[in-house]
Structure 1
Amino acid sequence: MSSSDQSKTCNAPKTEWPELVGRTIKEAKETIKKERPDLKIEVVTVGTSVPEDFNLKRVRIWVDTVAKIPTIG
């Protein structure tokens, strides 16, 4: 049983959102805020160095795709 299955059966607060993989940052932030308004959301680019501290009040959304063609001008 995954940790998300356990949290559903134990009525514990949700701790992960696998259903948000592939969604927009906006959708992810809105969903997490709706389900866990107590959390601080950080959007982080994959490969960015972040502190390895564990924080029960923080969730990181890792992003790694270019959404639009980079152009000069």
Structure 2
Amino acid sequence: MSVHYQGVDTLGAGLAVEATAPDGVIEAVSANVNGGQVLAVQWHPEWKVDENPQSQTFFKLLGKALRREPLVAS
């Protein structure tokens, strides 16, 4: 279950769902804006990161993005 009492009701144009909680609440969205990638999350990826594989993946991808490395294998 999401711990959030608010969430995305209608996904905006150009946004893609990247993660949902088990109850269906959207927890992450992405978009391409002006040639760059945007990722927005509605969870605390630092919270219990050692127990949460999704948060571990988030931080790995964030590190790659900051180093300007490809986020997906080509």
TM-score, scaled to structure 1: 0.24
Write 1 or 2 for the structure with the bigger share of strand. Answer: 2
Question: TM-score of the superposition, structure 2-length normalised?
Answer: 0.24
Please identify which structure carries the higher helix content. Answer: 1
In terms of Rg, which structure is larger? 1
Which structure ranks higher in relative contact order (CA pairs < 8 Å, sequence separation ≥ 6)?
Answer: 1
